[in-house]
Chain A
Amino acid sequence: MKIAFSTSGNTLESLLDTRFGRCSQFLILDTETKDYEILENTQNLNSVQGAGIQSAQTVLKTGAEALVTGHCGPKAFKVLHAAGIAIYLAENRPIHDLAEAFAAGKLALLTDADVEGHW
């Protein structure tokens, strides 16, 4: 399966960016092949409003089934939840660490937005 991580780096050593809507890019990891790709989110970094909604759609288009990020606001949550993407919260640790934690079932599944909009 594919997992999306919000990040500002380009490798599996990069740290998780705890922002979701306005993170600079997403790293999409294939858990079986360990291949990954980077998807820029720069357009959203500067959007006036609805950055979380846009980012949620960006993640959705990658075919990822899970998202690992630091926080998720109500609008982004609504889109991701409706689309059936599982959201896991984590701290800004290296992505490879988080991928292992995810595989071991150690990441917390989010059942509702954990922060207000424009957090």
Chain B
Amino acid sequence: MQIAIASGKGGTGKTSLAVSLFLANADRSRLLDCDVEEPNCHLFLKTRFVSRSSVERRIPLLNPDLCKHCGKCVEACQFNALAEAGKAGILVFEELCHSCGGCSLVCPTGALQETPLKMGAITRALVAEKAELITGALAIGHTETPTLIRAVKKKQPDPEVEFTLIDAPPGTACAFATAVEHADFVLLVAEETPFGLHDLKLTLKALQKKGLPFAVILNRMRPGFSSVQEFCKEKNYPLWLQIPESRDIAGTYARGGTLLDAMPELQESLRLLLDKCAEELLCNRRN
């Protein structure tokens, strides 16, 4: 099953949780780093590089000899990626192109041919020689985040494992939506701050629109602060794990360590967490 680890606000502990979940379940899980604008799961893992493949998108290439300057492509483009510049003919702005292929479709002379442009790469690596980490990284200057996230998620599982963990990008926009798309379950990491609660609410709105089942993981829990807990209680949302605010966790993280390094006692809870996700999936299917 696919489990996405998401949050609205950045820096709530998505990667911390994802990496530790992955390590605690190394025998039965794979981790996809879908925060492709700045993937960082690998920083916390001892990995052995396996392979790297490019991800391409298609952009129109103009053959000026065939172009009759009819302007149909400019009219068809919904993204202003093509322009008619008088006697200079048609100009292509590839950075604005969304690779829809519309321009080459409407071109009556075949002057626009779709050609591949490298937009990023996917890296496969192994942790402890068995657990697979797949990392998507967008090339500098490229902005087509959802396209690359889809490519990462499409990578065929090898070998087949029980749980595919997805470290999602922050926010509630396209990148987040693509990362949680088709997930069987979403673990929402929220931090106990006013900003954390605000963004949790935004993320919940987005998830509920998609009808995705979820549970909340509370991070940076501090005595005297309980706004997220109260919110979950009031709405009857499942709150599955609470991680305390701790200088030790922060220090370990800063040295490249994981939540599990700082709190080895979490091992069992992190295994149970995935079992719980599987149970929820079964219950949902039965219903």
Contacts and interface: CB of A to CB of B under 8 A. Distances in A.
A78 B93 CA distance: 10
B79 A60 contact: no
A16 interface: no
Interface residues of B, number: 13
Interface in A25-65: 47-51, 53-54, 56-57, 60
Contacts of B88: 82-84
Given A49-B96, A60-B86, A79 B80 contact: no
B85 A49 contact: no
A21 to B, nearest CB: 10
B84 A57 contact: yes
B87 A50 contact: no
B81 interface: yes
B84 A60 contact: yes
Given A50-B93, A75-B93, A78-B91, A83 B80 contact: no
B3 interface: no
A27 B86 CA distance: 20
A60 B71 CA distance: 13
B91 A79 contact: yes
B221 to A, nearest CB: 40
Contact of B80 (A47, A78, A80, A84): A47
B111 interface: no
A83 B88 CA distance: 6
A54 B85 contact: no
Nearest to B80: A50
Interface in A9-30: none
A49 B80 contact: yes
Nearest to B78: A48
Contact of B93 (A47, A48, A53, A80): A53
B151 interface: no
A79 B85 contact: yes
A83 B93 contact: no
Interface of B: 74, 79-81, 83-88, 91, 93, 96
15 contacts: A48-B79, A49-B80, A50-B79, A50-B81, A53-B80, A56-B83, A56-B85, A75-B93, A78-B91, A79-B83, A82-B85, A82-B91, A83-B85, A84-B86, A84-B87
Q: Which 10 residue pairs of A and B lie closest in terms of their CB atoms, listed nearest first? A: A50-B80, A82-B88, A83-B86, A82-B85, A83-B85, A79-B83, A53-B83, A53-B80, A79-B85, A50-B96
